[in-house]
Amino acid sequence: MTRSFYRPLICLAVAGLLMTFAAAQQNPNSMGSGSSMGTSSRLTANDQRFIKEAAEGGMAEVEFGKLAVQKAYSDDVKQFGQRMIDDHSKANNNLKQVASALGVNLPQHLSAKDEATKERLAKLAGDQFDKAYVRDMVKNHKADVAAFRTESSTGRDASLKSFAMQLLPTLRDHLKNAENIESKVLQARATMAAKSSQ
């Protein structure tokens, strides 16, 4: 075949490649991994991890709080559970607004770890539930306070830093409240055990 025959084929091939490249540039998410959480390209890896974990943690606190309202033996634990529902629902809504402005799709379901915790708590009742739930709340909020403190001081995105700074005092109060309730729950269990042994 002549060289003049190949030239149009080459031109068509190059044009096709250019069109494919242009389409990919206009829609960078079209070839994504299928993750449940889209991320803005301007966020650092630490910011992306923070917003994902904050969303998952917030959902978990609400779900665990619902269990506490239904299953707790202690009124203090029931009230704390309701506070978790109220405070974290509000925080979750605020985070959704921040995420929307950043072009980030937040997780819609509990993480596998939180789902397992929910199933474990759902099998407990009475003071056994109280002890396990409050112990988890102390552990979770220690981690939350550390994560939000780090984001508020070292985060690169201004909106995420502001979100972390605004919620940090509430999380610290949650931790203090959970620690106080944990002491009461453990003391009540010790008193019951002493009475039963007499």
Percentage of the chain exceeding pLDDT 90: 70
pLDDT > 90? residue 102: yes
| pTM (two decimals) | 0.76
Residue 191: pLDDT over 90: no
Gap between the Cα atoms of 150 and 167, Å rounded: 13
Q: What are the structural domains, with CATH classification, of the chain?
A: 44-197 (1.20.1260.10)
pLDDT for 180: 97
- Summarize pLDDT for 19-40 with one digit per residue, the tens: 444 444 444 443 333 345 565 5
Residue 72, SS3 per DSSP: strand
What's residue 190's pLDDT?
63
Return the CA Rg of the chain: 25
Residues 38, 87: Cα–Cα separation, whole Å: 26
* DSSP state string for 25-66: HH-GGGG----S----TTS-HHHHHHHHHHHHHHHHHHHHHH
Q: How confident is the model at residue 24, as a pLDDT?
A: 42
Query: Looking at residue 187, what is its pLDDT?
Result: 83
Give the C-alpha separation, 60 to 117, whole Å: 9
pLDDT at 31: 34
Write the Ramachandran bin of 103: left for phi over 0, alpha for psi from -120 to 50, otherwise beta.
Answer: left
What is the crossing angle of helices 126-154 and 158-197, to 10°? 160
